[in-house]
Amino acid sequence: MDRIDHGIIDRLRLNARAGYADIGAEVGLSASAVKRRIDRLVADGVIRGFTVQVDPAVEGLATEAYVELFCRGTVSPTDLKRILAGVPEIVEAGTVTGEADAIVIMRARDVIALEDALEKVRAAATVDHTRSAIVLSKLITRTAG
């Protein structure tokens, strides 16, 4: 993982279908040298895969929300994980510093479906309450999701 590997990954991030020669021109390497590096990055697990970014509206997952989770007493990350794993609408979740115990990102077809999913989270005995912020307009999306 040197400077050139990072350059190659940056290029692939912008366009995973770019040709080896094009990438090589950017990072100052021949096409075959670029291919050897990419093959190695994939073999080593640095690159996990090549994927496509799709308009969420088309996917039927237009409604997104950031949800803060507040629990009763002390809950271990393992317990939280078990509770959240069963809700497919949860796209991302993590324990956090600050007031809340965890922050959860959810995606669903519409607000109704989102509320249903939220109800599943709230149903857990350890969950005291939640605070949701529904996304109105997406400003930046640099993840593949």
Contact positions vs DNA (CB under 7 A): 4, 19-22, 24, 28-33, 35-37
Q: What angle do CA 102, 83, 125 make, to 5 degrees?
A: 90
Q: Which two tokens stand for residue 126?
A: 């350890």
User: Is 45 an interacting residue with respect to its own copies (CB under 8 A)?
Assistant: yes
Query: Smallest distance from the beta carbon of 28 to its own copies, in angstroms?
Result: 20
Q: If you search the block for the tokens 């990954």, which residue do you land on?
A: 9
Q: Interface with its own copies includes 2 (CB under 8 A)?
A: no
From candidates 23, 34, 71, 80, binder to its own copies by CB under 8 A: 80
Contact call for residue 43 and its own copies (CB under 8 A)? no
Q: How far apart (Å, rounded) are the C-alpha atoms in residues 75 and 97? A: 14
Position 62 contacts its own copies (CB under 8 A):
no
One-letter identity of residue 14: L
Q: Does 134 bind its own copies (CB under 8 A)?
A: yes
Binding-site partner at residue 16 among its own copies, DNA, none, CB < 5 to 8 Å by type:
its own copies
Provide the 8-state DSSP code for 24.
H
Rounded CA separation 108/60 (Å): 8
Stretch (H or E) spanning 118? helix 111-122
Q: Which CB, 33 or 35, lies closer to its own copies?
A: 35
CB of 25 to its own copies, least distance (A): 18
Distance CA 134, CA 27 (A): 41
- For its own copies (CB under 8 A), the number of binding residues is 56
